[in-house]
Structure 1
């Protein structure tokens, strides 16, 4: 086993926009404008947010009409919910279409992650662990970071549970197994 294989991790532990934008986590230069924006941006997590980030899930791509009560009823079968915060625009009061749900135990978070490809209000949602207060260097999607994206936008991000890194391909190596 080579040194590079020893260092290979399927999931990111520290947020580096260039690595996160890379399929295998080995890129050294940015390949799109969003990554450049993430490199130049500064993000300071909200210090007033309460709760244990290790017991919290991030639910995204919610329908604009999804309510806090709907989220509580959808996720209550995973365990005891301590807090549910549907994030809203401070000016308009409209949903920003994501929420943070804090559970009593981390085992309940694992159960909620099993709902990963669930539909809520006829809309497919994303359920991930909260990383904003846990992962060093985290940049949200609005600043060019995040793990989300789609093929059409050209802004795929890797290193998370949904899209883990792929093992680097060794160029010039004999591939007979």
Structure 2
């Protein structure tokens, strides 16, 4: 756990399929497929990968000119590449933007994420295909992100980072004060003197009960904190699911509109 980080420094399909990066067994077939994949980055892609941004969740109607207009406010752009379908020529909804300076890249990475372009909230991250060791794309079962409905969420990226594992603290073994080496005083007849017995009882009670009360209070606090965290996570999941559904509906409407326009041409 010492090397735990919310963002993956090296791509591991097994860890990416775990909410906290601690899974030891794959839970879906796509993870198996990613673990067995031998992916080689596209050698035909040019440009400096360390100066390139990945922009996703674009409106299918967004053009290269629009992207250049928006992202040029952060610095000088060397190249904009909007990925299109080889057959239809339609946009696939994501692009790569290469800057001339690292300062402009970092500024765009910081400020452009979740920016709204053509009624779509976009996602911006660094290019990972050529910069993250072990990278496996989504089509081979890897990547980051995914949808909850598919049961194939991936963690460790900017959009859905790892959640910190919950480590339960060790409880004290001497919960009721057993094991304490108190000197026992006995009377000459071999029976315990009543005054010593009562005094030891009071001393033992004073020692035990504060510890017990603290332990109970600690447990209640932990349970309350866990409950709050769970409610907060539930709200975050609902918000993400709602945004995903809205984005999918909007994308479906845009696709249907594009098809209708093509029919009437």
Q: TM-score, normalised by structure 1?
A: 0.89
* Count, aligned residues: 173
1:16 to 12, 19, 22: 12
CA displacement, residues 54-109 of structure 1 (integer Å, 9 cap, x when unaligned): 11110111111111111101111011110100011222211111100001122212
1:91 aligns with 2:84: no
CA distance in 2, matches of 1:25, 1:173: 23
2:129 maps to what in 1?
132
1:151 maps to what in 2?
148
Structure 1: gaps spanning 5 or more residues: none
CA-CA distance at 1:152 after TM superposition? 2.6
Which of the two has higher C-alpha Rg? 2
CA-CA distance at 1:150 after TM superposition? 2.7
Equivalent position SS for 2:79: strand
Q: TM-score, normalised by structure 2?
A: 0.61
2:98 maps to what in 1?
102
Structure 2: gaps spanning 5 or more residues: 172-214, 223-265
Answer 1 or 2: higher relative contact order, Cα 8 Å, separation at least 6.
1
CA-CA distance at 1:129 after TM superposition? 0.6
2:23 maps to what in 1?
27
Backbone CA RMSD of aligned residues:
1.9
CA distance in 2, matches of 1:173, 1:122: 51
- Structure in which a larger fraction of residues adopt helix: 2
